[in-house]
Amino acid sequence: MMKLVRNVNWDWFVQFRPFYKRVLNFGNEMMKGHCKILVFQTYNGLVAIGSLVFFVVAMSCAFLYLFPSVPPVVNSYPVSNSSSSSTDKCDVFEGRWIQDESYPLYNASECPFAEIGFNCFANGRKDRGYAKWRWKPKNCDIPRFDVRAVLEKLRGKRIVFVGDSLSRTQWESLICLLMTGVEDKKSVYEVNGKKITKQIRFLSVHFSSFDLRIDFYRSVFLVQPASVPIRSPKRVKSTLRVDKLDDISQEWIDSDILIFNSGHWWTPSKLFDM
């Protein structure tokens, strides 16, 4: 108890000073107004007052022991409102689309790997405004796409896209973007000589001058299909082995960058009826 009292911040007791004075004044008035009181009654009054004072002190010590002055658990950090060109200092997913007349970064009609069904210009669309938008994060700027710098960064690498038609169009767009920085367009070719269509499950484009491969594997669920269980409802046409990756997954292993897309297929309307 004495150790606890020594560690107490005595500034807290200043708040109780009026209360102490009131208690002592009460004792004095009681002694003055009752001079003829018996000695043992006076002694009992002093004991009562002393007990009350001791109770207040004990409660104060207990309060300071249970609720000591400690620094806040959550530290506050200054928030900078200035823009930064470094994407690792802000959330690049929080922002908005803004118009940029320098866009698009490539012409799909000049890219041999842009599937005809997704080439809006070649299919006769007149307005071009939809292609002149770029993403602007709230608190920073994304560096403009530098095709030569990207090609050098990816030299000798293998990039693999896995998913559905959305993955395929992303794969096509990346190839078309990178082709704008290649002088000899014939040095970029599909490895198996295939034409890009949605029926083909595997496509691979090689940038020979940079020893760069960009592959696409169609795998909408990423896992293996399975047979229909016995006595299952007639509406069940197929099942999935969620514990087994697609049988072509072994071909993704040696990739340097692996990009998945499968979310659209894992929905109630795609997998089952409620």
Residue 142: φ, ψ to 5°:
-80, 130
pLDDT at position 173: 94
Give me the numbers of helices (H) and strands (E) for the chain, helices first please. Answer: 7, 9
User: Is the peptide bond preceding residue 78 cis, with omega within 30 degrees of 0?
Assistant: no
Mean pLDDT by 10 residues, the chain (274 residues): 42 47 51 45 53 57 49 34 50 93 90 85 86 92 93 97 91 95 94 80 95 94 87 82 90 92 79 59
Would you kindly state where each structural domain of the chain is located, as residue ranges? 2-66, 80-143, 145-227+238-274
Strands 239-245, 257-260: pairing kind: unpaired
Residue 238 neighbours by CB under 8 Å, 6+ apart: 225, 226, 227, 228
Q: How far is Cα 134 from Cα 99, in angstroms, rounded to an integer?
A: 6
The one-character DSSP state at 84 is B
Query: What are residue 226's DSSP bridge partners?
Result: 239
Nearest residue to 82 via CA among 20, 139, 11, 10:
139
pLDDT at position 61: 53
Distances in whole angstroms, Cα of residue 4 to Cα of each of 8, 11, 51, 71: 6, 15, 19, 20
Q: Where are the alpha helices (DSSP H) in the chain?
A: 2-6, 11-14, 17-33, 39-66, 147-153, 165-179, 268-271
pLDDT at position 258: 95
pLDDT at position 23: 44
